Amino acid sequence: MLVLLNAWDAASARAFATAGFGAIATTSGGVAVALGYQDHEGAPAGEMLAAAARIIAAVDVPVTVDFESGYKLDPREIAQRLIAVGAAGLNLEDSDHSLAGKLVEADWQAERIASLKAAAKAAGVDLVLNARVDVFLHRIGGPDVQLAEGLRRAKLYRQAGADCIYPITLNDEGMLSRFVEAVEVVNINVRPGGPVSLERASGLGLRRVSYATSIFREAMNLVGRITGDVKAELESLRGGKPA
């Protein structure tokens, strides 16, 4: 099982590589916020790619880039630009962030996946494509409806050439087992202390685990606590006056 910690800058990437992780992923949410933008393609594609390039240059291990839903770029251009910065792979979502995160048509997404994989191979690089299935994120219909639609999309994306399927936010073990049965190579997002441990993920036959924005959030929570402690100490020195 491949375990990927998600970096948001060169420093975090170096920390993960130094700890011995053999590959690293980026977090679009962490990168965007660190650059001063909102997640869900609030940052320009060029700035996200530049940040990815700095992360990739900082470490000697493969880096896969969270490229959200593609920033409205043509699949060939996505492949070319990721290869240009040295990416080993990418996440690609089936949400349209310009339409409040509405799901795109599954057949259209499958065509994009096939085109992107073909363009990368034609350029001499087999980018590892982790196809995100956002049905459970948007909670469209009840659990049975979500599972049926999620599996339908997962099969389409695998047939189109996706290397891995990512049903984001799904943590129901029975449903995850159905995904493993259907498409074999499945990624889930976990977090420290979350409902699915690495041990359980391995036991379910999951092949890839990533931490999404959770480590970035934990780091920012620590910054907030340190900031509060410093402010409280300064106010104490000033007799209770604001810092």
CA dihedral 74, 80, 83, 88 (to 10 degrees): 30
| Tokens at 171, concatenated | 């943590």
- Domain containing 237: what range? 214-243
pLDDT at 199: 96
The C-alpha R_g of the chain, in whole angstroms, comes to: 19
Residues 220 and 120 in one domain: no
In this structure, what CATH number is given to the domain that contains residue 109? 3.20.20.60
Residues 147 and 116 in one domain: yes
Map residue 211 onto helix, strand or coil.
Answer: coil
Residues 133 and 180 in one domain: yes
CB 200 within 8 A of CB 179: no
- At 88, the amino acid letter reads A
Can you point out the beta strands (E) in 60-161? 63-66, 89-92, 95-96, 102-103, 128-133
| pTM for this model (two decimals) | 0.95
pLDDT at 240: 76
Residues 55 and 150 in one domain: yes
Q: Which residues contact 197 (CB under 8 A, 6 or more apart)?
A: 190
Structural domains of the chain, count: 2
**Per-residue model confidence as pLDDT tens for the chain (243 residues):** 999 999 999 999 999 999 999 999 999 999 999 999 999 999 999 999 999 999 999 999 999 999 999 999 999 999 999 999 999 999 999 999 887 769 999 999 999 999 999 999 999 999 999 999 999 999 989 999 999 999 999 999 999 999 999 999 999 999 999 999 999 999 999 999 999 999 999 999 999 999 999 999 999 999 999 999 999 999 999 987 776
Residues 80 and 93 in one domain: yes
pLDDT at 243: 66
CB 62 within 8 A of CB 24: yes
Residues 74 and 35 in one domain: yes
